[in-house]
Amino acid sequence: MSRIDGRKNDELRPVEIIPNINKFAEGSCLIRCGNTHVLCTASVEDRPPRHVPEGEGWVTAEYSMLPRANRERSRRDISKLKLNGRSAEIQRLIGRALRSVVDMKKLGPWNITIDCDVLQGDGGTRTASITGGFVAMMLAFRKMIEAGQLAEYPVSGYVAAVSAGIVDDVPLLDLCYEEDSSAMVDLNCVMDDQGRLIEIQGTGEERPFTLDEQRQLVELCEKGILRLQALQKEILGL
């Protein structure tokens, strides 16, 4: 069986990260994973939320899809006066993933907001947001270092994310929308650059899955994340 776009089972879609896409944000990039395009900006402000200990910083994320990011137009959250439940879930995930490698004491009294706005969605928007959001965050940290607001990058490692899934009983890396729509199982991994898990979320969409299948999917993700982190390093030039 061949994949709809001719990829091998463990092959990522073509990925492109265009840094500094936004003239005003302290850090930004446009990440394109196949037809999924996410604009990530990092904004630096000087008021962390109240629950943060005095002198420490915070990283938070917001995620949204433009109304026509998808095959059908969806109504804006504001016209329904409700934050989309799926968006609420995803932005909590992005925030947790990025915070996991940031040392809030080293960051000092700054609040970093990562906005991930999906311009076009073709599957894998949440993982693209994490991979691109990390780059935007690092670019903002670089600007803060240059401005003397930070002494060094307050991070303990790289973060990237990808999905894998089981389609017709075959484990595949980085599902596009068509594959995702017919996937039996869907699993997202967020990992650091030592191959350790930061987040894992797996769902049996059409059927339960065995522990062995779960292991295979994580291993596929591990391969993809390694390549995404190589690209992040290349872009950041660190």
Q: Which residues pair with 160 in a beta bridge?
A: 191
Contacts of 77 (CB under 8 A, 6+ apart): 64, 83, 84, 87
Count of residues binding its own copies (CB under 8 A)? 61
Which CB sits closer to its own copies, 92 or 151? 92
Task: Report if residue 41 touches its own copies, rule: CB under 8 A.
Answer: yes
d(CA 238, CA 232): 9
Per-residue binding letters, 183-202, with its own copies (x by CB under 8 A) = ----x---xx-xxxxxxxxx
Q: How far is the CB of 197 from its own copies (least distance, A)?
A: 5
Measured between alpha carbons, how far is 188 from 175 in angstroms, rounded to an integer?
10
Q: Is 204 marked within a binding site?
A: no
- In the complex, the smallest distance separating the C-beta of residue 9 from its own copies, rounded to whole angstroms, is 20
Report the C-alpha gap between 14 and 60 in whole angstroms: 28
Residues 6+ apart with CB under 8 A from 68: none
- The DSSP-derived string for 15-32 is EEEEE---SSSSEEEEEE
Q: Are 69 and 117 a contacting pair, CB within 8 Å? A: no
6 appears as a binding residue in the annotation: no
Per CB under 8 A, does 96 bind its own copies? Answer: yes
Contact by Cβ (8 Å): 202, 145: no
Determine whether the annotation assigns residue 127 to a binding site: no
Choose between 42 and 150: whose C-beta lies nearer to its own copies. Answer: 42
Distance in Å from the first CA to the final CA of the chain = 40
Per-residue contact string for residues 119-148; x = within reach of its own copies by CB under 8 A: xx-x--------------------------
Orientation angle between helical segments 211-236 and 125-146, nearest 10 degrees: 30
22 counts as binding its own copies under rule CB under 8 A: yes
Torsion over CA: 45, 50, 56, 60 (sign): negative
- Asked whether residue 86 is marked as a ligand-binding residue, the answer is yes
Binder among 20, 181, 182, 203 for its own copies (CB under 8 A): 203
Residue 49 touching its own copies (CB under 8 A): no
To its own copies, the closest distance from the beta carbon of 73 in angstroms equals 4
129 phi/psi in degrees, rounded to 5 = -65, -40
Q: How far is the CB of 235 from its own copies (least distance, A)?
A: 19
* Contact flag: residue 229 with its own copies (CB under 8 A): no
The reply on whether position 60 binds its own copies by CB under 8 A is: no
Give which of 210, 131, 216 is closest to 172, Cα–Cα: 216
Site residues (CB under 8 A) for its own copies? 22-25, 28, 35, 39, 41, 43, 45, 62, 64, 66-71, 73, 76-79, 81-83, 85-86, 88-89, 91-92, 96, 100, 113, 115, 117, 119-120, 122, 187, 191-192, 194-204, 208-211, 214-215, 218
